[in-house]
Structure 1
């Protein structure tokens, strides 16, 4: 029996592939005093029944980087540990049955080339040659990734566990963690029970790798890990004579995947409407358990499978399996330190890609724990993106019914979740709804994305081409450029920092100088020690000791955590005041005229220049008018007490009927906000700027003041200035007005792929699709960079593009200062 130590540097909770990977990689970094506690037996939750598909291409460069790391690790583990992993690089094929799916998989192929993943587009006849058992009559296209593979999930976990033990880690089965202990905002260890005994382990770090138990375990400490288990079905045939080694096959249009293993065929599914499980908690006895069969639920998948793979019609069924896996509200897993509790890390919620993800995720999290910061940009899986309300079980049950099926749904741009909607609403929600708003959701917040005409359906018709709202966006966009538009931006995160040390505290965190007169607004970034961008925000000085920080709604929890992490002994308080104020953005050349109709205050440049705020009377209410813009026009963000927001909106709407040369006020949505900002080359956090992107290479040096004194990232800024830039963020405009850019298209410089489009939208004023993306430039001048020939590869086709380092729209920012 393995003795449980009383003290450890780190305790890992959960012995699935995720926990074993974290233990292995921490041990590999030299952390020998680590303990992994598993409540039953290793792999007994989800890992043991996983399908074991190793697909290297993911939706972003860093997620692909982690998946490729996993594949490489799994090919080496057997030699290192002596445990057979079943890892075979048999390749994979994804087939398309529709033109829309063809566009998607061809876009993925372009992305794979940009990420240096071996890929090629193949014809239906070539699919048939590789996969002779397949019915390809209605296959329109396919892609082949020859280095993808499959493995034995349980043995992968066992190999990782053995590798961890070999380096000094302690792994104990049958030991249930009953509590994570804490004091003064940090974990202090865990309490455990085993074979009727109980004890504690003192530890600085606790890692929740508890899979489908992770949410319930985390909730004991007030930590939000929003996930919920769903039933996942697959069947395995009896041995089929003559069946030889085959690539993994995905037929997403039929929600199905196929895997040959030892002469048998597995058929698994991600059906459109899933079956959540464990709403009332997971049984204490759960260990290698199966859930009841439900052939009626699986039958539509099987019928399509028999048509796709006719040999299944005569093959006997060896196993019909139903087992639980955990899913999250956005189909992305959780990694990192929880914002609510220092030293509490999470690696859970893998949405059925836990095997291919856990190798790389364990490596990244181990480095994160050791260094105190992620090794590269991991925002899309960062636990800090989770919203506190999302731990609600009713919400999770409703949402994961949809998210399981979205794994194989068409991944159209702008696709909106259909389930668990309407949780967070602006006080203007019903007003906007009555005027044709079609809503999208970010961080649970309902936001008007576009406004339908009275005779137009209020719903999305998704496509890779111009969607049904493209014309609406154009009218909204041009209204902002030529008249005035109104955006409801209540979802913006609002953080109040106040106290005697508030200014000094913010000076330490912000790259720009925020020690400004009351009434001034400063655009700035908060940097990490590498000069990467942790937050993109504005800071408004309200009083000598109080500041308002405005951040994207999606990053609010991240930004709060960053501030609180660095607060230390500063005499200051950090408060989330997001719900206190609505935000109405009036933007466009006629915005000053409209404000003059509803407010007696002076909005002239002399009184209210760009980058300042003033308290105003508006209608019969009060507001703060912030003269800033994210669309590149004259405009104001109006911060209105929530209880007065509807009145102020009504007053503005009434006064704006004939403003702007009679065109009148135009209600605008978030799609238009994005298309306007990309014409002006304004950066978007999470896409164009991340914690991995150096502030100077992102073109934001104008917002950095190294002369003000010390701040986090200052040394990295000075070092980069001395050494020169390795890459630069460039704006692109396609020469052809027809193609569209969304995100992740390949940037081609002089015939060679050099990067990807970080964000894209249609520039209705500039008359073509606009994108941003980084281009390597070590040792080059601006002239060198711009003298090249650029193209953007979209679904395998290259389109000529104009490149610019200055905004293509209003490069001197004259319009915002009118």
Structure 2
């Protein structure tokens, strides 16, 4: 046996399906000088006891991409690497009990078809043609996925490992990493078999990821759940049917009852996601063992009584079977249930591909994504849904446990657009949280910061159940309309805690920023929007830039972008420049509407005649504030930036004066509608690496006269070749539901684009959608259709100007 190599370009820690896939995809990319270290045998963690289901279904565009890739890879993997595999592509029937569930299915079918998958909706009558043993009398329909199935997790992992070895990569088993140190140029990992040096490291530790992360100074946001599934013995009737038709039953998922039922040989595999559920290794009294390889928890079937009984009623054949075995093993969860794939926050040359709840169906795509991160520094698909930097460090252990249990207990729940999950809340509160709460604010978290979504009045239904609707007209509808009208006719105030703020100082800092962004750097006293592109010209992020001095810049970005954007800035920071993260020191209110000048003029000493896109220091209630003449709502307005300690006094002063001017608080739902009327883009919705700067309609923010900026060559080539997609605003006859993210745009029977955000415009009286459309159709007046939950609704491309205040006269007033 070959000795442990003394060095490698990449070392992967963890030998489950994801670690093996990462090694395989690195080798496919030509990076064969890579080593995988596994503390035990390959598959010793969650992989060995995984059920091995391989769905493509997801309500997330990026995760659907990842799972679709996995399913496609697995179909040809055995032949590609010369390793026999049991992969049963049986298809699946996903049952729906309600009209709301069927709408979710229709949405996912639309997404799947946009990605080239022939998903379909079955009527209750059609379900039995696919699954003859199911009771269907109480169902509204089902989603049929012909690509679903199951695979042997151990064989999958071994096949990926063999493929990697054959390409020149190295797998070292029984070789735990016990320490790691950064020399300034490389990582040195200590193992019982000696040290190994690596240019890059990858944490693929699964439910050991937190232990691995600590060696790198990283606190991984995760917890561990116990998940049980049951194996039932042979059923003669199922055996006879299978032999007669020549294939297995499709996998059945009863998502409203929260379980899957899969044919296992001539019996069944029943896997529930129960609520209440159980966390493991979550308290000091229940510490995680150093090694839990190939081990299980004791059976705990009492909490599964409902799912077992329900499954037997749904498929009476199951009641004939005898229980053969119970598998109760650990699976890791992040606070939102999505894995961690990408750069390890704050750690040089380190990546994560870990905390997979559905590691088997995602392993193939995860390996592809991880390899792209390492070898190219970017991914083909925008993978923000899985980026480790979406968590910014405030997520303590208690939060991770509560959210992980909530996600597990609602694993199959519908994710309604206005529903806010209740666990782990009130972790980060604005300095004026008590004021907004007293006014009726209904809150939602943004990077943990509680922001008002809408303001309820006595008698409004503020229950969580009322949020579970696809319809626009939930209990917030009246409030959102009134809030938008107040901003249009008088003045609104929106409390916005949690903006990410970075001050960059140093000689020639403006020249440095000019090389980082596509457009111009504002002069002293001015501010503007800046777009950061990658080498391919794709949209990385958007920041507001205020020029504080010749050698000092203030960069403001989204709350959730804090770690992402900080990492980008630090990665490209040059000698002589210093970056300070001041996010926690400041808070913000938006004061906007035609009477905003009257309101602020009565409480501050600033010069409110200064034009749009300027900033100034001023004082309100004795406190120094930064006034920025800009409004994401698209009306006359200012952002009032105050130090956290001063914010209550600033709010109180504005509120007291505003009562005579019709001042009204408004929330994020109203802001979303207002910004869409102006065509303002939202980060990781309308703005993502799925699109280039030119596709995003941002050419006015490109300074072609600059000799150098990142992405310039790619954007020049794209401009010369012709842009294939263009950003558009659509007027949509959407009925009472707004099109969800990535709703397909159709023209003459062909999919030609997608809606990236949509809302009812209360100032213009129409449903508006922002999106990407095939370039030749991006002409005002073009008639298209938008697929809204399975129905194609008439839509029209609007002129390339804001729908509201097209000339920005109100904004500049």
- TM-score higher than 0.5 here? yes
* TM-aligned CA deviation for residue 493 of structure 1: 1.0
Corresponding residue to 1:710 among 687, 696, 708: 708
Task: Map 1:238-253 to 2 at 5 A.
Answer: 238-243=233-238, 244=242, 245-253=248-256
Is the 1:750–1:789 contact (alpha carbons within 8 Å) kept by the matching residues of 2?
no
Corresponding residue to 1:491 among 491, 498, 514: 498
Task: Map 1:164-313 to 2 at 5 A.
Answer: 164-184=164-184, 187-193=186-192, 198-243=193-238, 244=242, 245-279=248-282, 280=284, 281-313=287-319
Distance 1:60 1:206 in 2: 28
Corresponding residue to 1:521 among 514, 527, 532: 527
Is the 2:781–2:797 contact (alpha carbons within 8 Å) kept by the matching residues of 1?
no
Q: Secondary structure at the match of 1:254?
A: coil
Corresponding residue to 1:797 among 791, 794, 797: 791
Distance 1:624 1:174 in 2: 58
Corresponding residue to 2:592 among 587, 591, 596: 587
Q: Secondary structure at the match of 1:725?
A: coil
| Counterpart in the other structure of 1:767 | 765
Is the 1:741–1:769 contact (alpha carbons within 8 Å) kept by the matching residues of 2?
no
| Counterpart in the other structure of 2:5 | 5
Q: Deviations over 1:445-495 (max 9, x none)?
A: 111111111333444412011221111111111111121110111221111
Q: Secondary structure at the match of 1:761?
A: strand
Is 2:404 the counterpart of 1:396?
Answer: no
| Counterpart in the other structure of 2:389 | 384
Q: Deviations over 1:282-320 (max 9, x none)?
A: 212311111111111111211211111112222100112
Distance 2:623 2:200 in 1: 50
Q: Secondary structure at the match of 1:204?
A: strand
Please identify, of 81-90 and 380-389, the stretch whose mean Cα deviation from structure 2 is larger: 81-90
Is 2:676 the counterpart of 1:678?
Answer: yes
Please identify, of 331-340 and 646-655, the stretch whose mean Cα deviation from structure 2 is larger: 331-340
Distance 2:73 2:788 in 1: 32
Q: Deviations over 1:603-657 (max 9, x none)?
A: 11xxx10000011121232211000111111110001111110011011111011
Distance 1:172 1:442 in 2: 42
Is the 1:438–1:448 contact (alpha carbons within 8 Å) kept by the matching residues of 2?
yes
Distance 1:619 1:715 in 2: 50
| Counterpart in the other structure of 1:614 | 616
Q: Deviations over 1:203-253 (max 9, x none)?
A: 101111000111221123222421111011111111111323111111110
Distance 1:640 1:774 in 2: 37
Distance 2:801 2:57 in 1: 33
Corresponding residue to 1:329 among 331, 335, 356: 335
* TM-aligned CA deviation for residue 808 of structure 1: 1.7
Please identify, of 158-167 and 27-36, the stretch whose mean Cα deviation from structure 2 is larger: 27-36
Distance 1:768 1:356 in 2: 41
* TM-aligned CA deviation for residue 787 of structure 1: 5.0
Please identify, of 217-226 and 645-654, the stretch whose mean Cα deviation from structure 2 is larger: 217-226
Corresponding residue to 1:645 among 637, 644, 647: 647
Is 2:742 the counterpart of 1:744?
Answer: yes
Q: Secondary structure at the match of 2:453?
A: strand
Is 2:432 the counterpart of 1:428?
Answer: yes
Corresponding residue to 1:504 among 507, 511, 531: 511
What TM-score results when the alignment is normalised by the length of structure 1? 0.95
Is 2:325 the counterpart of 1:319?
Answer: yes
Is the 1:13–1:208 contact (alpha carbons within 8 Å) kept by the matching residues of 2?
yes
RMSD of the TM alignment (CA)? 1.6
Distance 1:494 1:692 in 2: 25
| Counterpart in the other structure of 1:542 | 548
| Counterpart in the other structure of 1:574 | 579
Is 2:607 the counterpart of 1:602?
Answer: yes
| Counterpart in the other structure of 2:146 | 146
What TM-score results when the alignment is normalised by the length of structure 2? 0.96
Structure 2 stretches of 5 or more lacking a match? 243-247
Is the 1:735–1:802 contact (alpha carbons within 8 Å) kept by the matching residues of 2?
no
| Counterpart in the other structure of 1:106 | 106
Distance 1:285 1:66 in 2: 30
Is the 1:189–1:202 contact (alpha carbons within 8 Å) kept by the matching residues of 2?
yes
Structure 1 stretches of 5 or more lacking a match? none
Pairs aligned (count): 798
| Counterpart in the other structure of 1:464 | 470
* TM-aligned CA deviation for residue 328 of structure 1: 0.7
Relative distance call for 1:562 and 1:452 in structure 2 (3 A) is same
